[in-house]
Amino acid sequence: MSDGNAGLFDLSGRVAIVTGTSRGLGQYMARALAKAGADLVLTSRTRESLRAFEAEIKGLGRRAVSLELDVRNLESIEGMAAEAEKAFGRLDILVNNAGCNVRKPALDVTWDDWNLICPANDCARIWTHH
Ligand SMILES: NC(=O)c1ccc[n+]([C@@H]2O[C@H](COP(=O)([O-])OP(=O)(O)OC[C@H]3O[C@@H](n4cnc5c(N)ncnc54)[C@H](OP(=O)(O)O)[C@@H]3O)[C@@H](O)[C@H]2O)c1
């Protein structure tokens, strides 16, 4: 991702949670926020899969903690938020990126597929905001 916006935003001293940072768009957004000065809370359903990215963020000179989060589970959301606040003492930014898709032609999507996609992408995001 280009650094074309460097200098436009200064997020020094801010703490950002970016959910779903084990791969994909979440990593792009977390990297951009770190380059703008923010410290990062990284999440995945498996903390181990965040190890390399956490090292990358720390390499940018930011603080980072990796936490487990499954957005379909309220206890997991509340636990992640509590641990994040404990780690940094403040939370300023939430990027509700975590989600999943089942890539199929629309008419092939099953009821079970739909019930996997919807809780992860819609209901859960609202609860993460709380
Ligand atoms: N890429 C696109 O073209 C596109 C288009 C429209 C919308 N989106 C949305 O943008 C977001 C990111 O897309 P992407 O392409 O970067 O997806 P991706 O590569 O599949 O990454 C999804 C991320 O979400 C996490 N995740 C998945 N299910 C989760 C759950 N139940 N609880 C917590 N974390 C979960 C994954 O972490 P773990 O598997 O490690 O837990 C991973 O880090 C998604 O919400 C997607 O629906 C993407």
Closest to 116 measured CA to CA, from 106, 128, 129, 101: 101
Whole-number pLDDT of residue 113? 86
Whole-number pLDDT of residue 102? 85
Give the percent of the chain with pLDDT over 90: 69
pLDDT of residue 126 exceeding 70, the answer is no
* Mean pLDDT to the nearest integer, 35-40: 97
Q: Which CATH number does 3-98 carry?
A: 3.40.50.720
Q: Where are the domains of the chain?
A: 3-98
Cα of 45 vs centre of ligand 1, distance in Å, is 11
pTM of the model: 0.90
Q: What angle do CA 115, 121, 58 make, to 5 degrees?
A: 135
Give the percent of the chain with pLDDT over 70: 85
Mean residue pLDDT across the chain: 89
> Which residues lie with the beta carbon below 6 Å from any ligand 1 atom?
19-26, 44-46, 49, 69-72, 97-101, 120-121
Q: Nearest residue CA, atom 25 of ligand 1?
A: 20
